[in-house]
Amino acid sequence: MRAAKDFGIDLTLTLRRLSLSPTERLQEMMAFERFLEHVRQAGQVSSERTRA
């Protein structure tokens, strides 16, 4: 970690993730998957409207 910090890498997000429990990490990942699905659906609707 020290080498990464000395190299200029921001470890803020990494440290935050490490502070979460495995269950909390899984919940965040599942929420992100739901978000991605909404983005995919929005993209499909948008492309369908463009073709119409």
**What integer pLDDT is reported at residue 46 of this predicted model?**
75
**What integer pLDDT is reported at residue 48 of this predicted model?**
74
State the total domains in the chain: 1
The C-alpha atoms of residue 31 and residue 43 are separated, in whole angstroms, by 19
Residue 27 lies in a domain: yes
Residue 6 lies in a domain: no
User: Residue 41 sits in which domain range?
Assistant: 21-52
Residue 14 lies in a domain: no
The C-alpha atoms of residue 34 and residue 26 are separated, in whole angstroms, by 12
**What integer pLDDT is reported at residue 35 of this predicted model?**
97
Whether the model clears a pTM of 0.75, i.e. scores above it, the answer is no
Per-residue pLDDT of 3-50, as tens digits, reads: 988 999 999 989 999 999 999 999 999 999 999 999 999 988 777 777
28 close to 20: Cβ distance less than 8 angstroms: yes
**What integer pLDDT is reported at residue 44 of this predicted model?**
86
**What integer pLDDT is reported at residue 52 of this predicted model?**
62
